[in-house]
Amino acid sequence: MEYFYLLATLVLGFFAGAQWSNIKKKAQNTAEQLKLSQLENSLSEALAEKNQLTQEKELLHIKTAKLET
């Protein structure tokens, strides 16, 4: 009977350890996804700002060209 409890304890311990490992992996993946999402947002904002500046610059050139003619 003692062997049964020992075996059951080992199996439960192994299962708990495996689940803890999965939880840690999921947490790490979630953290990485969050970092990637933040990076993606930063890049989107930077590209939008660059696009806006480019459009403003083009409009300025158009206005300047109209004034010169």
Domain of residue 21, residue span: 1-69
- Name the residue with higher pLDDT: 50 or 17: 50
> How many domains is the chain built from?
1
- From residue 41, alpha-carbon distances to 35, 36, 50 in Å are 10, 9, 14
Q: Determine the Cα–Cα distance for residues 62 and 16; give it in Å rounded to an integer.
A: 68
Predicted TM-score (pTM) of the model is 0.56
pLDDT band at 1 (very low <50, low <70, confident <90, very high): low
Q: 19-62, pLDDT tens digit by residue?
A: 877 888 888 888 888 898 899 999 999 999 999 999 999 999 88
